[in-house]
Amino acid sequence: MLGKGLSLNLATVREQWNLCKAVEACVRHGIRCVDPWRDQVAKVGLDAAARAIKDAGLAVSGYCRGGMFTAADAAGRQAAIDDNLRCIDEAVTIGAECVVYVVGGLPKGSRDIGAARQMVADGFAAILQHARACNMPLALEPLHPMYAGDRSVLSTLAQALDLSDTLGKGTGVAIDAYHVWWDPQLEAQIARAGKGGQILAYHVCDWLVPTTDLLLDRGMMGDGVIDLPRIRGWVEKAGYRGWTEVEIFSRDNWWKRSGDEVIRTCIERFQAAC
């Protein structure tokens, strides 16, 4: 087993339960860590969410998600920064180990990916001081390049590490196997991240063939083509000893099953296929 064991990203059971019910289910199944999404927290209320997690004795491997810094005009970019400052405060209240970032794609009407990347760097620079003051690490998550248009102009681990190097203290990366498994530089970049002490989170699920939906057709570990044990080996070798977060968005399959079945399967596959 890698590090501290399994953390359940609560998006995995978002269609079955609200946050409080999902936390109860985790306790029932012996899961000791979660990563809630902001909308799930908002739905039950920040204080109630924090209390439920704390009372259950659960750790919080991350808080999903900050980012979306790109916007067509200055007012939009400032609104994103303000929202990201609030997100950091929420993460502190929830007791998260880091905030996970999906940085944003191209603003509407733009074809300038370079400018979008600059907006992302500027956005992080604008929230960094507050994050440091709160002791809240910022985990930059590179997303598969198929999302560069609408979700993340940060596409590779190398690129995320370059940005983290530029920003400096208080930043690192979230390595999500789903997004980076295809990268020929993956082993080397994981080693680099380890050397820099920059691995803040590790996420797993599987890449289904064929994939029918770009966002909502993630597979259960073991059902797809990602060599998860090999990647885990690299992450382990790089010195990461934290949680392994299972994060599955699956509109037509896992979100339609009972939450208890989903969690049972996550635990089985975590042991057998990760």
> Which stretch, 33-41, 48-56, 239-247, 255-263, contacts Zn ion (CB under 5 A)?
239-247
Instruction: Tell me whether residue 81 or residue 140 sits nearer to Zn ion (CB atom).
Output: 140
x/- letters, 242..261, toward Zn ion (CB under 5 A)? -----x--------------
Please give the Cα distance from 112 to 61 (Å, whole number): 34
Q: Which of 203, 120, 194 is nearest to 161 (CA)?
A: 194
- Contact call for residues 198 and 189 (beta carbons, < 8 A): no
CA distances from 234 to 98, 142, 181, 270 (A): 21, 17, 12, 17
- Minimum CB–partner distance for residue 174 and Zn ion (Å): 6
How many residues at the interface with Zn ion, by CB under 5 A?
3
Q: Pattern of binders to Zn ion over 104-123, x per CB under 5 A?
A: --------------------
Q: Which is nearer to Zn ion, 77 or 203 (CB)?
A: 203
Segment contacting Zn ion by CB under 5 A, of 18-26, 47-55, 103-111, 168-176: 168-176
| Residue 35 engages Zn ion in binding (rule: CB under 5 A) | no
Type and span of the H or E element at 244: strand 243-246
| Residue 176 interacting with Zn ion (CB under 5 A) | yes
In 3D space, the residue among 209, 231, 230 whose CA is nearest the CA of residue 219 turns out to be: 209
Q: Which of 14, 77, 151, 203 binds Zn ion (CB under 5 A)?
A: 203
Q: How large is the greatest C-alpha to C-alpha distance in the chain, in angstroms?
A: 49
Q: Which stretch binds Zn ion (CB under 5 A): 172-180, 185-193, 204-212, 228-236?
A: 172-180
Q: Is 50 or 246 the residue whose CB approaches Zn ion more closely?
A: 246
Residue 36 backbone dihedrals phi, psi, to 5 degrees: -85, 155
What radius of gyration do the chain's Cα atoms show? 17
Does 14 contact Zn ion by CB under 5 A?
A: no
267 CB-side CA count, 13 A: 14
Judged by CB under 5 A, the stretch of 45-53, 200-208, 212-220, 263-271 that binds Zn ion is 200-208
* All residues at 6 or more sequence positions from 45 whose CB lies less than 8 Å from its CB, including other chains: none
d(CA 114, CA 182): 23
- Look up residue 240 and give its DSSP letter: -
Q: How far is the CB of 51 from Zn ion (least distance, A)?
A: 26
Binding footprint of Zn ion on the chain (CB under 5 A): 176, 203, 247
